[in-house]
Amino acid sequence: MRVLFRWARRLHYIAVPLLVFIVAQIVFLAPLWEHIELKAYDNLFTLSGSRPVSDDIIIVEIDQSTYESIEAANYPYPRNYHAHLLHNLFAAGARLVVFDIQFDVERDPRQDAELMRACAQYRDRIVLAGKVEISRTGSHTMMRQVPPMKPLLWSKIPWGIVNIRTDPDGFVRRYTLFQRYKEETFYSIGVKALALLHNPPDDLDAAINHDRRQLTVSDGDSILYRVPKNSFNTTLIRYFGPARTFHRVPYYQVIDDISFDISDFDLDAYEQFILPDSVVDGKIVLIGSTLEEDHDYFSTPFYNELMPGVEIHANFLEMALHDDWLVRFPWLWLLALELVLVVGAYALFTRLRPSYTVIITVVMALLWAGLAWWMFGARSRILPVFEAPLLLVVIYIVTLIAHYMRTFREKKQIRSAFQQYMAPELVNELLKSPEHLQYGGQQKKLTVLFSDIRSFTTYTESHEATETVAQLREYLTAMVDIIIKHRGILDKFVGDEVMALFGAPIPIDNHALAACRTALDMRKRLTEMQQQWRDEGREGFEIGIGLNTAMVTVGNLGSEQIFDYTAIGDGINLGARLEALNKEYETKNKIIISEFTLEHVKDDVEVRYLDEVKVKGKNLAVKIYELIDIKDGA
């Protein structure tokens, strides 16, 4: 049974942190908490800074300089411009061209035909853009496929979707790998580009596969790219830097060759791209608009800076080409790590003072944040930044509350145990410094006072029980009041005997003198009570008092069930013997003190030497004195 009781007491070391852990995991599912973690995730990009990118990818942008160089009236540019762009890019050695510009509707038949012929010519090295548009109205979701225009579809030009998914706060942190629509799967331009690098156009869909954990791209024989999934159809984007991290080339420079006049200030800028080792040679070229008017800008974690959609696709391709993915820390491992942290912190915090635990909490929270930053930068692993610190703070608060509740119970126990037996100011001091009240014993010098009624057995035989009890209660109440008045503590009643301690559990100045004052006041108060009893026709009684000062063992010497603060030792026994010696010596006040008490009060009291006696259990004789009075000015 005792073993079960011990285990039951230890159960809270598991039950409390486990409850905190479960409640916290529910909180972590809340949208507000997700928003907090996303912002912390964004800051990791800022703290980690930009990373170098390869020269495998360049962006041909329709930027402001292009808009100003080519007559604005021509925008959106005629399809033959894009056809000319394709011819120039492949002439300059481009490896693959990916459009982030949609050709979803037919316009000028002649110009559309020119674009179609160019696309068909480079069919094995070009990816066009389409969309699966999603609109939500209340609880209803509408989807619509927006592919390239029909002539391009009939020519089976590879195409992918350019859907960019934003989080609830408007930031783009995930890349859409594919979209399902009417039992069909439409892959993004980034995924299609990866497949087209190693497969003929007609085999792209067969080269792309995905399961619950990843999307793979193969060349028919082996898997070339493994894209880890963050959700059903997305992967996390490991941004390499803010906008303009990838090399950009203005659109107008690529089409501005000797045969194509773009304006009155034609410079034939294309000539630089046909030089050996040009910026286009062997590169994957993404073509898109960076004009603000096209509203193809998105918020990204990097400095909260807007980035054009074409550069988001570039980030994905850079990750895939160099197998540099950003993935979340394994969920089960994270749960296990947090659970161990919570249980360990609770076990530690319950054993330490709150002033220490608050420091440990702050240090551990900072270490966790540092670990999350290191995992992100060095290992490309996302460790939630605030989950573990929140758990630590909650555990700290729980243990702090438990500490104050335990302190409150201890103080309540101390107050209930001592308020009837010692002065209120001593109780308050004890509550402020409970370390004075140690469980078990400690060696301490104090003064013990014993008081006993003479011939009380004879007295009880000649009086009614109710009368005896009433008179004894009146006497003991008066004596205890005097003990408490002089900052003593009533140790116990043994029938009609009173035992009091001075100097414990709270130290007092000259406990021996306080005990002497108490003895004299007890004697004086008894004399007054004796006169009162005579006046009331009641029989009185006499008492004897003994005092001794010694080093004794003092503390909670009771059992596990009962608290008993007391003192034991030879010095206590000597005090009891001195009280009994009052029967053998004729003294005025019936107060006998030992030479050890006199040593502490010799300058403050008047005494009379009585004898040198051996008490029971002691081999050496002890000098004893009658306490007469306190000197004036003591």
Q: How would you class 193 by CB atoms within 10 Å of its CB: exposed for 0-12, middle for 13-18, buried for 19 or more?
A: buried
Comparing CA positions, the residue from 489, 576, 591, 482 lying closest to residue 529 is 482
Say which range, 232-236, 364-368, 400-404, has the weakest mean pLDDT: 400-404
List C-alpha distances in Å: 258 to 71, 89, 91, 307. 18, 15, 14, 33
Alpha helices in 536-594 (DSSP H): 570-580
Determine the Cα–Cα distance for residues 494 and 513; give it in Å rounded to an integer. Answer: 24
Average pLDDT over residues 1-10: 52
User: Residue 482 pLDDT > 60, yes or no?
Assistant: yes
Q: How much is the pLDDT for 608?
A: 92
Q: How much is the pLDDT for 289?
A: 95
Grade residue 319 by pLDDT with cuts at 50, 70 and 90.
very high
Q: What is the DSSP string of 295-348?
A: T-EEE-SGGG-EEEHHHHHHHHHHHHHTT---EEPPHHHHHHHHHHHHHHHHHH
- List beta partners, residue 592: 546, 626
Tens of pLDDT, residue by residue over 50-90, are 999 999 999 999 999 888 888 766 788 899 999 999 999 99
Alpha-carbon torsion (538, 539, 542, 543), positive or negative? negative
Report helix, strand or coil for 546: strand
Contact 134, 143 (CB under 8 A): yes
Tens of pLDDT, residue by residue over 101-111, are 999 999 999 99
Give ∠ CA 582-583-586 in degrees, rounded to 5.
70
Q: How much is the pLDDT for 89?
A: 94
User: Residue 94 pLDDT > 60, yes or no?
Assistant: yes
Q: How would you class 420 by CB atoms within 10 Å of its CB: exposed for 0-12, middle for 13-18, buried for 19 or more?
A: exposed
Q: How much is the pLDDT for 74?
A: 72
User: Residue 236 pLDDT > 60, yes or no?
Assistant: yes
Residue 56 makes CB contacts below 8 A (sequence gap 6+) with 283, 284, 317, 318, 321
What percent of the chain is predicted at pLDDT more than 70? 88
Q: How much is the pLDDT for 264?
A: 57
Q: How much is the pLDDT for 586?
A: 86
Tokens of 73: 């009236």
Average pLDDT over residues 258-283: 75
Q: How would you class 137 by CB atoms within 10 Å of its CB: exposed for 0-12, middle for 13-18, buried for 19 or more?
A: exposed
Tens of pLDDT, residue by residue over 21-38, are 999 999 999 999 999 999
User: Residue 4 pLDDT > 60, yes or no?
Assistant: no
Grade residue 558 by pLDDT with cuts at 50, 70 and 90.
low
Give ∠ CA 265-270-273 in degrees, rounded to 5.
155
Grade residue 265 by pLDDT with cuts at 50, 70 and 90.
low
Contact 252, 260 (CB under 8 A): no
Contact 98, 189 (CB under 8 A): yes
Q: How much is the pLDDT for 189?
A: 97
Q: Which residue has the tokens 């003192």?
A: 567
Residue 121 makes CB contacts below 8 A (sequence gap 6+) with 86
Q: How much is the pLDDT for 431?
A: 55
The length of the chain, given as a count of residues = 634
Q: How much is the pLDDT for 566?
A: 77
List C-alpha distances in Å: 92 to 95, 115, 279. 9, 18, 9
Q: How much is the pLDDT for 1?
A: 47
Average pLDDT over residues 511-523: 93
Determine the Cα–Cα distance for residues 361 and 356; give it in Å rounded to an integer. Answer: 9
The pTM of the full predicted model, rounded to 2 decimals, is 0.69
Domains and CATH numbers, the chain: 13-46+328-407 (no CATH), 55-321 (no CATH), 434-630 (3.30.70.1230)
User: Residue 417 pLDDT > 80, yes or no?
Assistant: no
Q: How much is the pLDDT for 437?
A: 52
